[in-house]
Amino acid sequence: MSVTVRIPQPLRRFTENRDVIELSAGTVGEALEQLERQYPGIAERLRESDGQLRRFVNIYVDGEDIRFLNGLATELRDGMEVSIIPAIAGGGAL
């Protein structure tokens, strides 16, 4: 499936400053693996060593948070848009 992946600014140093990447993948997880093949180093910014998404990374497929879908196993169809967006948080106690 040919999909577009939107790259947030903090990750563009991995993608030669490109903000949109076209790639072919059947699921969100596969899209991340494809990204890593094209731009080594990017995946470890997104996933923990156990493969789970980092706590403050959110991924949306056509505007929907993948936590409402099927997580990294969310299936992709031709023309879908995958957005990687850092969650924003403000901190906490000492």
Give residues in contact with other proteins (CB under 8 A). Answer: 8-10, 45, 54-58, 60, 63, 65, 67-68, 83, 85-94
CB closer to other proteins, 27 vs 83 = 83
CA dist., res. 21 & res. 80, Å (int) = 12
The tokens for 83 are 């957005």
CB closer to other proteins, 4 vs 86 = 86
CA dist., res. 85 & res. 90, Å (int) = 16
Q: Tokens 């403050």 appear where?
A: 56
CB closer to other proteins, 1 vs 81 = 81
- Which alpha helices (H) appear in the chain, and where do they start and end? 28-38, 43-46
